[in-house]
Amino acid sequence: MSRVEVRKTYKLYLGGDFPRSESGRSYEVLKPQGTFLANAVRASRKDVRDAVVAARKAQPNWASATAYNRGQVLYRIAEMMETRRPELASEVAAAEGKRGSDKQIDTAIDTFVWYAGLADKLSQIAGGLNPVAGPYFNLTVPEPTGVVGIVAPESPSLAGVVARIAPALCGGNATVVLASEAHPLPSIALAECLATADVPGGVVNILTGHKDELVPILASHGDVDAIDITGVEDSAIADTEIAAAGNIKRVIRAEGSPSPTEAIAFMEFKTVWHPKGT
């Protein structure tokens, strides 16, 4: 007797759970050849709002964890990705083709390892003791911006989203991520690694759907503190920046390979004065 194929159902990753969209909508994801691959959830305005609520609730505890502990969690993500490497490679190959898929997995895992190592060094790199004319200490201390919206690049589907999530998490931010619209499935496979890698629920929320619908909602949301527009189409950048200006969001774009600068872009800076002497 032949078996019935058990097909994977791709869902959102929200608050540490894998819900379907409240709208019940989905959209077709295609293979590189243009044929049907799978159905992905088409997130709605309410899904974005729910993701922001989950991120806001989770962010203070994530930010208050020691930098060393955040580094441990980021390294644990890399461990889980290595363990599930065949599955991740299969998802990337199905989405974008076999060519380069193994290298993309290597890059994604190495990115988490790199930022795991940076986590407990970021304050020393970004902070400092400032010279002042007077009997005072003047200290600059980096702090997380808070809830960060991330519009992932369309390609590479896995390495691209990891390159934006990892530096945001490194400094203590919580994230609401809009996955690649054309290639969303590797992001959901990543979410399954996150769910088993000690990442507190709500610190990373991953939504799939149509960017032309979701980006304006995320950009104009009053409780989102910054937005990474790396994956926004050039024709929509101006409108996205205008929407982000409504609550003076920080607007961020990727600058290149892993570096302290990428993590610092997601940070705010507090300056503290303290008198010298007793």
Q: What is the pLDDT of residue 278?
A: 57
Q: What is the pLDDT of residue 39?
A: 94
Q: What is the pLDDT of residue 131?
A: 86
Q: Kindly report the length of the chain.
A: 278
Name the token pair of 79: 């461990």
Q: What is the pLDDT of residue 85?
A: 96
Q: What is the pLDDT of residue 60?
A: 98
Give CA 82 to chain center in angstroms: 19
Residues of the chain with pLDDT under 50: none
Domain assignments of the chain as residue spans, ordered by start: 39-275
Quick: pLDDT tens for 144-157: 999 999 999 999 99
Q: What is the pLDDT of residue 185?
A: 97
156 cis-preceded (ω within 30 degrees of 0): yes
Q: Does domain 39-275 have CATH number 3.90.950.10?
A: no
Predicted TM-score (pTM) of this structure: 0.94
